[in-house]
Amino acid sequence: MTGDAHHTLGESPESAFVVAILHQAMVDLRATAPAQEREASCAFFSNQRRHLEMLCDLVGLDHEDVQQAVQRQYPEWLASHDRQ
């Protein structure tokens, strides 16, 4: 997520919460993150259980746009996760 995402979503507590969740999930995709955390973030951003979609719906984000942004930043993790 870019720094602009927070301003796009507004300043409500719900928006801040969603931004914090998305940010942490992206941090957990870094190569230095524990493998278990990285796997959980891959599953989250792959929208396997529709958690990403539901979270994005709360604040009016398109979950597919979020997925594409994450895929651009971390192609190696999400591509390998989709193959499993």
User: For the chain, what are the domain ranges?
Assistant: 3-82
Q: Report whether 14 contacts 59 (CB < 8 A).
A: yes
Q: Report whether 83 contacts 47 (CB < 8 A).
A: no
Q: Which residues contact 33 (CB under 8 A, 6 or more apart)?
A: 27, 41
Give the predicted TM-score (pTM) of the model: 0.79
Per-residue pLDDT tens over the stretch 26-69: 999 999 999 999 999 999 999 989 999 999 999 999 999 999 99
pLDDT (0 to 100) of residue 2: 47
Q: Which residues contact 71 (CB under 8 A, 6 or more apart)?
A: 45, 78, 79
